[in-house]
Chains A and B, each alone.
Chain A
């Protein structure tokens, strides 16, 4: 193989004016991205900036609607993952897809194992090649180990070895440090250096600024699916990068709200979990929207699940309307007026097989039954009241919920929660993965709920939404509350700083 140096000026891979549209969303709008041999390029951007879509296009999972991808200056079309692999592009994903019951070598070579002349898998050759790869990346375990017996960090090394086993020229690392400890991250940095010295072009996706400034040579910034800027890391500082990332894109329209919040409804003091979060203390008032912002893995959803009684905190008190409430199960939470709409669509989804009205009344059956028997007429009344309030479009409330469109199913789910007459509603990433129009409808609706005196906790990773909707924002980092922001402090820059742990520039040099 020809040796390349960092000084080589023509990119190995060049994405030029790439556009990708999904129904209702333009995920990428004429973006460009160049990757150079022997250099690490950091792709930077908020959630929804189009980073994952870019990775999927480069690895042949999505096909772009417009634009050109060039490899060594030659236009190519990457229509299948196989094409990308043949072109020498390989990716290490956030969640590694490996097989616990197979050996390390089998995991590395699954799908392209060396064969003997009879067409059978050449085990000796496979283990020899795997051992060589493992030594190269400094993995401290044998290729004969069962994958199951390895820790998360070592599994990650297997994923990296697998990525390198296809003679890659371009290595994409999608948030590779999200699950690693500090020591393991150091080892990963060394590995990245090794790959660089071997002349591989590396695309590094990360939310963590210390990482970006530590190992990247170049940067490219996307915002809302559009290209913003690129250049050499050495030429910029963190402030400049933050400004480019968040830009002035907060002119999405949010419903105007009167911020007249009432008395305290919920007070959480010192909620602590052995491994997930510690010392969470905050209060929530009537009619308030409280935002929870943080990077993925900051412990926000974990805390909410605990508040809702799915997991148990080891310490901490929760007061509702001034009274101490013990929440040991979701049923307790619902009884205490707390409901939780989880992030996962499948989990929050309707129960297919039950008709609409039964979906709506499911958590409220205590109120609609007498002497242990359900009263269908009462159920219908309750279901009709809330489906009318939400303008649910259905031929009949007796219809199977599976026959409704997605949007109407979501209305059924929301009606279900409102029918319990909650005091606090926790919305976990309420607009994740939905198009702009539906987002506006959800925001409108949240504002309406708050106006009616309901208290809303909104967990969100989207900065415009957090700033546009919240009265106050709690920023979490590494399982702790990093900051509580309101009013003038509530800017994209401060949110990103607190979430990523960047010190204010006024305080001096950044770590």
Chain B
């Protein structure tokens, strides 16, 4: 019997291809390899964040603070760069990842130890993180001329034909792919989301698993924070405002069950790419950005309806004949 998850990914992949063909029929330049690489690079932050969000959603939680985490980390590293222009980029990246992970850990502790619903926790921390950006920056922007060339140049540097930003997204996909498929942590994430009660009796600490899921999501948000600020060469209070919803949307379109336990790395990546293609293609073929919102929204509803149908519990098998033919 063919497994459920590849079927879902194949359908989503097919939908992306159909979309590309439709766009190509009106503007063939869009499907040129160089342009597709640009689209991928533009979607890279969304892919990275969607992977973190996927881990959180799989454990029956949600992380609404990713965009605020990204913006706060971005502001902090930008200010560090202004203060110490000579600090090497690898150290900047370590700082960004650690800072993001700490913010994720705050979410995780509140969910684990105080048992506050994740949507409430991250709604709160989202607002707090945004407020902190204002406090540390006095509401001022950090502009490109204040940043060092090494700082802004890193994500744009081209390596083997692709910018570093794209390579980082690809690396993240590989690392998370291995983590989900081949480590105990990955397996625990599916178990916790699939049946938390059974997971407890299996010796898995549900709260701790959710904690680490938030840490993973936070770390990726921190990493993206540096990449974002460096790529756009600007940091201010409102960067990536509302982006958390796009991240959740990518996961939902990618077939990650909002009820937890079902989903895959491939699905999250394809969900993000689908949104990336829609966002980049529509202006090119002269479709109003409002259509873009409508298309994204419809894609979410279609994806959820499709998953709900596929995930509906089958009835008890009472007929002997039915049992043998399954």
A178 at interface (Cβ–Cβ under 8 A)? Answer: no
A501 contacts B by Cβ under 8 Å = no
Within 8 A of B (CB), among A274-322: 308, 310
Which residue on chain B has the smallest CB distance to residue A329? B205
Q: Is the CB of B191 within 8 A of A354?
A: yes
Encoded as 1 (CB less than 8 Å from any B CB) or 0, chain A from 460 to 494 comes to 00000000000000000000000000000000000
CB contact under 8 A between A352 and B202, given known A23-B318, A403-B1, A406-B316: no
Q: Which residues of B contact A402 (CB under 8 A)?
A: 313-314
For the complex, is A167 an interface residue (Cβ under 8 Å from B)?
A: no
List of B residues within 8 angstroms of A118 by Cβ:
none
Chain B residues near A341 (CB-CB < 8 A) = 201
Against A, the Cβ 8 Å flags (1 = close, 0 = not) of B1-31 are 1011000000000000000000000000000
Query: Are A350 and B4 in contact, CB atoms less than 8 angstroms apart?
Result: no
Which chain A positions have C-beta within 8 A of B202?
Answer: 330, 334, 362-363, 416
In whole angstroms, what is the CA distance A287 to B317 when docked?
A: 35
Name the CB-closest residue of B to A406: B316
Q: Which of B184-200 contact A (CB under 8 A)?
A: 184, 187, 190-191, 193-195, 197-200
Q: Does A372 contact B (CB under 8 A)?
A: yes
A353 close to chain B: CB less than 8 A: yes
Flag if B318 contacts A352 (CB, 8 Å): no
Closest Cβ neighbor of A344 among chain B residues: B197
Determine whether the beta carbon of B323 is less than 8 Å from that of A330: no
In the assembled complex, the CB of B270 is this many whole angstroms from the nearest CB of chain A, namely 19
- Give B282-326 as 1s and 0s: 1 = Cβ < 8 Å from A's Cβ atoms: 000000000000000000000000000000011011100001001
Confirm or deny: B262 has a beta carbon within 8 angstroms of a beta carbon on chain A: yes
State which of A64-72, A152-160, A391-399, A502-510 sits at the interface with chain B. A391-399
Judging by beta carbons under 8 Å apart, are B187 and A353 in contact? no
Contact between chains at A373 and B182 (CB < 8 Å): yes
Interface of A is mostly: mixed
Minimum CB–CB distance for A85 against chain B, Å: 30
> Which residues of A have CB within 8 Å of B74?
none
Task: Tell me, in angstroms, the Cα distance from A43 to B181 when the chains sit together.
Answer: 56
Chain B residue nearest to A362 (CB atoms) is B202
Contact of B197 with A347 in the complex, beta carbons under 8 Å: yes
The reply to whether the CB of A96 lies closer than 8 angstroms to some CB of chain B is no
**A353 CB contacts on chain B under 8 angstroms:** 190, 193-194, 261-262
A331 / chain B contacts, CB cutoff of 8 Å: 203-205
Q: How far does the alpha carbon of A346 sit from the alpha carbon of B261 in the complex, in Å?
A: 15
Q: Which residues of B contact A21 (CB under 8 A)?
A: none
> Which B residues lie within 8 Å of A173 (CB)?
none
User: Contacts of A405 on B, CB cut-off 8 Å?
Assistant: 316-317, 323, 326
Interface size class of A (residues with CB under 8 A): 35 or more
A340 to B184, CA, bound (A): 21
Contact A374 B191 (CB under 8 A): no
Knowing A334-B203, A348-B201, say if A403 contacts B314 (CB, 8 Å): yes
B193 to chain A: which residues have CB within 8 Å? Answer: 353
Taking CB as reference atom, which chain B residue is nearest A374?
Answer: B182
Q: Would you call A400 an interface residue if the criterion is a C-beta within 8 Å of the partner chain's C-beta atoms? A: yes
Instruction: Count B interface residues, CB 8 Å.
Output: 32
The interface residues of chain B lying within 8 Å CB-to-CB of A372 are: 183-184
Task: Say how far B41's CB is from chain A's closest CB, in angstroms.
Answer: 31
Task: Assess whether B200 is in contact with A310, with CB atoms less than 8 Å apart.
Answer: yes
Contacts A348-B201, A372-B184 given: A400-B191 contact, CB under 8 Å? no
Check if A342 is an interface residue, CB within 8 A of chain B.
yes
Q: Which of B218-266 contact A (CB under 8 A)?
A: 261-262
Q: Determine how close the nearest CB of chain B comes to the CB of A283; give it in whole angstroms.
A: 24
A window 343-378: CB within 8 A of B: 344, 346-355, 358, 362-363, 365-366, 369, 372-374, 376
The reply to whether A351 and B182 contact each other, CB–CB distance below 8 Å, is no
Cβ-based interface call for A446 (8 A): no
Q: Is the Cβ of B199 less than 8 Å from the Cβ of A351?
A: yes
**How far is B201's CA from A333's CA once the two chains are assembled, in angstroms?**
10
B311 to chain A, nearest CB (A): 9
Across-interface contacts of A366 in B (CB, < 8 A): 184
**B178, B183, B198, B323: the one within 8 Å of A351 (CB):** B198
B203 & A354 in contact (Cβ 8 Å cutoff): no
Bound-complex Cα distance A412 to B225 (A): 44
A405 to B325, CA, bound (A): 12
Instruction: Contact check, A362 vs B195: say whether CB atoms are below 8 A apart.
Output: no
A352 touches B261 (CB 8 A): yes
Contact A348 B190, beta carbon cutoff 8 Å: no
| Residues of B close to A349: CB separation below 8 A | 195, 197-198
Q: Which residues of A contact B317 (CB under 8 A)?
A: 405-406
The residues of B that contact A333 with a CB separation of less than 8 Å are 203
Q: Which of B191, B193, B203, B316 has the most CB of A within 10 A?
A: B203
A329 x B198 contact (CB < 8 A): no
A126 CA to B5 CA, complexed, in Å: 55
Chain A minimum-CB-distance residue to B257: A353
**Contact indicator B4/A400 (Cβ below 8 Å):** yes
A365 touches B198 (CB 8 A): no
Q: Contacts A348-B201, A363-B203, A403-B326 hold; do A398 and B3 have CB atoms under 8 A apart?
A: yes
Q: When the two chains form their complex, are residues A399 and B183 in contact, meaning their CB atoms are under 8 A apart?
A: no
Interface CB pairs A-B, < 8 A, 24: A329-B203, A330-B200, A330-B203, A331-B204, A342-B201, A347-B201, A349-B197, A350-B198, A351-B190, A351-B191, A351-B199, A352-B261, A355-B3, A365-B184, A369-B183, A373-B182, A374-B182, A395-B326, A396-B1, A398-B3, A400-B4, A403-B314, A403-B326, A406-B317
Q: Footprint of B on A, CB under 8 Å?
A: 23, 308, 310, 329-331, 333-335, 340-342, 344, 346-355, 358, 362-363, 365-366, 369, 372-374, 376, 395-396, 398-400, 402-403, 405-406, 416
Beyond A331-B204, A351-B195, A374-B183, 18 additional contacts (C-beta under 8 Å) are A23-B318, A308-B201, A333-B203, A334-B202, A349-B198, A350-B198, A351-B190, A351-B198, A354-B187, A354-B190, A362-B202, A363-B203, A366-B184, A373-B182, A373-B183, A374-B184, A398-B3, A402-B313
In the A-B complex, the 7 residue pairs with the smallest Cβ-Cβ separation, listed nearest first, are: A331-B203, A347-B197, A351-B194, A334-B203, A353-B194, A351-B195, A353-B261
Task: Report B's interface with A, CB cutoff 8 A.
Answer: 1, 3-4, 178, 181-184, 187, 190-191, 193-195, 197-205, 261-262, 313-314, 316-318, 323, 326
